[in-house]
Amino acid sequence: MATGSRLEQLLSRIFDGAREGLRGDLDPEDYAKRIKIFMFDMCDWKDDLERLAALFNNPDQQDDEAASVSLIGFLYHAVPHLNAAARLLLDDVGDPFSQAEGPDKVPGTAKGRGKRARRAP
């Protein structure tokens, strides 16, 4: 078990619970390394999350540029870590918003506005 913070200990237990079959398939050192990487990917963006939470809780406290920096910084830093953590914990989570299904399936795109979208003849 992790000897770090209570959060890291919790994350380690979550990983163990979700990946209990993996422990027997891997060398103990490799398994411990995966847990360590998972914990890193779940914790490294904590400061970004706190800045984003401050923005969401007090949207009038920052000007547009500062809010943009907070939001874009979160997306650039946290999303890759979350993707990596999801692959470690869940193997393949897929991307339900991927355009692999075509632009008609993606909300908010020109073609993906559903039945309410009207196209010119």
Residue 100 in domain:
no
Secondary structure (DSSP) of the chain: ---S-HHHHHHHHHHHHHTHHHHHHS-HHHHHHHHHHHHHHHHTTHHHHHHHHHHHH-GGGS-HHHHHHHHHHHHHHHHHHHHHHHHHHHS----TT-GGG-GGGSTTSSS-SGGG-----
Q: Identify whether 25 is part of a domain.
A: yes
Q: What is the pLDDT of residues 31-68, one digit of tens each?
A: 999 999 999 999 999 999 999 999 999 999 999 999 99
pLDDT tens string 52-111: 999 999 999 999 999 999 999 999 999 999 999 999 999 888 888 887 655 555 555 444
Query: Do the domain assignments include residue 109?
Result: no
Domain of 77, in residue numbers: 6-92
In a domain, 29, yes or no: yes
Count of domains in the chain? 1
Answer yes or no: is 31 within a domain. yes
What pTM was computed for the model? 0.74
**Does residue 85 lie in a domain region?**
yes
Residue at 40 is within a domain: yes
